Amino acid sequence: MRNRLASMLLAGATLMTAFGAQAAEKVTLQLKWVTQAQFAGYYVAKDKGFYEAEGLDVDIKPGGPDIAPAQVLAGGGADVVVDWLPSALATREKGVPLVNIAQPFKTSGMMLTCLKESGIKKPEDFKGKTLGVWFFGNEYPFLSWMAHLKIPTTGGADGVTVLKQGFNVDPLLQKQAACISTMTYNEYLQVLEAGVKASDLVTFKYEDEGVATLEDGLYVLEDKLKDAKFKENMVKFVRASMKGWKWAEENPADAADIVLENDASGAQTEAHQKGMMTEVAKLTAGSTGALDKADYDRTVKTLLGGGSDPVITKEPKGAFTTEITDAALK
């Protein structure tokens, strides 16, 4: 009798487990880049059970130099992606209806890092120089800035030569470029880790130059928001993700460890990820996840003000919604 009762309890527990697994709603998140502390909030939310508590089974897909999140989203490979607003707005204007549903990053971490020996002291000194630039949507803030400066990106003495930059800082270390694109939380740290002294560098932060645009936000396809169940899942996803981000801000070293545990490539180092998380926390600080309309308007104005070749040519319509964060933050 006892054995039979034990068997019945075990069977019941198995059924409950199976039911729970079936009940969990699957959500696939496509990151903008490889596994690193830039995305710590999502890894923390998964590790700490914040997604599970919302009834979600979240699959986090790393990105890379040849992965465009918008293309993955349009192709059905993800439900939600991390992308930058300039890329999202340019993509939307080209016909892929991306919509921002949340904005975990409040501040831009993008900058150009230059060798002091290049003679560059101010943006006007970029003329005649070779500058490293990321592509796959990351080029838009740079192109917009150059347009504001009225500096052509086609080379020559009065323009700049654009070097398509990979995922490392070699162009600067090998002096193939006078400046390269860097993030405060990643490539700039890599340059210092390579032995270059901060005193031998000149940096230009987009925030300081008045051309900062919104970076890591969460985007979905517009048509998906017509589905009530999808919207419900996104509310849960955003709520859990922001819990992850706030936990990461308060526990940067532990958050970095969680990222490292999820790095299947083994390419990241503990020191770099902890340094990265400290810097990333500065960019998410003050964000509840809700898009700030003033920040959005500033980004749009910057992208529209690109002279004869702006990143976007008209004021976007329907490019963001606060409906998801309004519900998530109740």
pLDDT in tens, 295-309: 999 999 999 986 667
Q: Helix, strand or coil for residue 180? A: strand
312 CB-near residues (< 8 Å, 6+ apart): 89, 90, 93, 300, 303, 304
Bridge partners of 179, per DSSP, are 114, 131
Averaged over 47-52, what is the pLDDT?
98
Contact between residue 172 and residue 25 where contact means Cβ atoms under 8 Å apart? no
pLDDT in tens, 228-258: 999 999 999 999 999 999 999 999 999 999 9
Residue 36 has pLDDT above 50, yes or no: yes
Bridge partners of 324, per DSSP, are none
Block residue for tokens 């859990």: 240
pTM confidence score: 0.89
Tokens of 107: 């501040």
Spatial distance between the Cα atoms of 222 and 16, rounded to a whole number of angstroms:
35
Spatial distance between the Cα atoms of 288 and 106, rounded to a whole number of angstroms:
9
- DSSP string covering 312-324: -SS--SS-B-SHH
Contact between residue 226 and residue 294 where contact means Cβ atoms under 8 Å apart? no
Averaged over 193-197, what is the pLDDT?
97
Residue 96: predicted pLDDT: 96
pLDDT in tens, 196-223: 999 999 999 999 999 999 999 999 999 9
250 CB-near residues (< 8 Å, 6+ apart): none
Spatial distance between the Cα atoms of 198 and 182, rounded to a whole number of angstroms:
14
